């Protein structure tokens, strides 16, 4: 039985700028996202991980239609949301919601918690007033907030409670997709675990589909079913969670995993480990070949001349590297 696909992204590109630079033949176009393609099966969590500046958050914002899409298609079930504009886009927004990184600045400090969670229902004119109030009460229960906390303002909540509030707001319209942009990075480690476990419980209870953006490999490993590794606007490796962490194929993925702190790091052998050196190339002046070649300890001459395609190696495990075994 084929699993339903909740989200399909095809050749997504997001460029910023575009004006000519000071030198002839040069432009200052930033290639923030440069040709992403992937699918998210319904009821699963798809993770995107990478360094700062890799294009993770821009991808999230593009899918949410919060930044302009230069090229490509984003399809939610049978609706191409990348083609919607005006009232059609506004009407469709109830189907895809976002949880932001900062649980405080994403909440209106002048509104009480009940109004913040009910706001999407009011804007979309969903249900009667009594239905909305009852739904808000149920959402507070589902995310672990007490009924009396509906009357509080955001500053009266802790960081973890604010993120529960943001999650309740995202759930209010019963969306088909929730985009999570670094939703636990601003929280303490213990609170991170609580929020991640809550998200997993809600996914099982409500059949939710998540697109999860993070730079933290530990968080990605905990919550995601499928993982895409981004580098400089491109996906360099894509696989199910178990395959990616047990058998990383791309040198960049190996370097990210080797950089994760461990209490046993002093006992681990450094032999054969891939270490990141230098800085990524400029997203304005991209190199001709593989974008990771200048930092890759295994790079060969062909890597600087040709760009490796993202191709499947085994059982859906895709890698963009000429040397991946």
pLDDT at 23 (0 to 100)? 55
**Given a cut of 80, is residue 127 above it in pLDDT?**
yes
pLDDT at 80 (0 to 100)? 96
> Does residue 255 contact residue 275 with C-beta atoms inside 8 Å?
yes
Using CB atoms within 10 Å of the CB of residue 37, give its burial: 0 to 12 exposed, 13 to 18 middle, 19+ buried: middle
Q: How far apart are CA 132 and CA 122, in angstroms?
A: 8
Q: How far apart are CA 299 and CA 315, in angstroms?
A: 26
Side-chain-side CA neighbours of 109 within 13 Å: the count stands at 4
Question: How sure is the predictor about 177, in pLDDT bands with cuts at 50, 70 and 90?
Answer: very high
**Given a cut of 50, is residue 1 above it in pLDDT?**
no
pLDDT top residue among 314 and 44: 44
pLDDT top residue among 186 and 124: 124
**Given a cut of 50, is residue 174 above it in pLDDT?**
yes
**Given a cut of 90, is residue 45 above it in pLDDT?**
yes
Which residues are bridge partners to 38 per DSSP? 9
For the segment 72-101, what is each residue's pLDDT rounded down to a tens digit?
999 999 999 999 999 999 999 999 999 988
pLDDT at 267 (0 to 100)? 45
Which residues are bridge partners to 178 per DSSP? 97, 210
pLDDT at 274 (0 to 100)? 62
**Given a cut of 80, is residue 271 above it in pLDDT?**
no
Average pLDDT score over the chain = 89
**Given a cut of 70, is residue 258 above it in pLDDT?**
yes
Residue 86 neighbours by CB distance under 10 Å: 7
Question: How sure is the predictor about 262, in pLDDT bands with cuts at 50, 70 and 90?
Answer: low
**Given a cut of 90, is residue 227 above it in pLDDT?**
yes
Lowest mean pLDDT among 38-47, 77-86, 126-135, 257-266: 257-266
Question: How sure is the predictor about 261, in pLDDT bands with cuts at 50, 70 and 90?
Answer: low
């Amino acid at each position: 039985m084929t699993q339903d696909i909740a989200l399909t992204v095809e050749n997504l590109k997001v460029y910023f700028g575009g004006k000519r630079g000071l030198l002839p033949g040069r432009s200052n176009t930033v290639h923030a996202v440069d040709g992403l393609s992937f699918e998210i099966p319904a009821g699963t969590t798809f993770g995107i991980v990478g360094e700062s500046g890799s294009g993770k958050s821009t991808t999230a914002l593009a899918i949410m239609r919060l930044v302009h899409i230069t090229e490509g298609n984003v399809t939610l079930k049978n609706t191409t949301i990348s083609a919607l504009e005006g009232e059609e886009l506004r009407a469709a927004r109830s189907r895809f919601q976002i949880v932001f990184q900062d649980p405080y600045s994403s909440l209106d400090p002048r509104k009480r918690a009940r109004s913040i969670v009910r706001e999407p229902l009011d804007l979309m004119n969903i249900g009667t007033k009594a239905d909305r109030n009852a739904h808000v009460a149920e959402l507070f229960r589902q995310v672990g907030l007490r009924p009396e906390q509906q009357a509080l303002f955001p500053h009266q909540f802790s960081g973890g409670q604010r993120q529960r509030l943001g999650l309740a707001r995202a759930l209010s319209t019963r969306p088909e997709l929730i985009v999570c942009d670094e939703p636990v990075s601003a929280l303490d480690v213990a609170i991170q675990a609580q929020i991640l476990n809550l998200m997993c419980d809600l996914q099982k209870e409500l059949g939710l589909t998540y697109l999860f953006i993070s730079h933290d490999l530990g968080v990605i490993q905990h919550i995601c079913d499928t993982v895409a590794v981004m580098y400089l606007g491109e996906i360099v490796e894509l696989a199910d969670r178990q395959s990616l962490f047990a058998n990383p194929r791309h040198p960049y993925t190996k370097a990210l995993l080797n950089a994760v702190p461990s209490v046993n790091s002093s006992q681990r052998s450094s032999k054969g480990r891939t270490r990141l050196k230098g800085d990524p190339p400029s997203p304005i002046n991209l190199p001709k070949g593989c974008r990771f070649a200048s930092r890759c300890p295994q790079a060969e001459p062909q890597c600087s001349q040709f760009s490796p395609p993202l191709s499947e190696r085994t059982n859906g495990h895709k890698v963009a590297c000429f040397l991946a075994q």
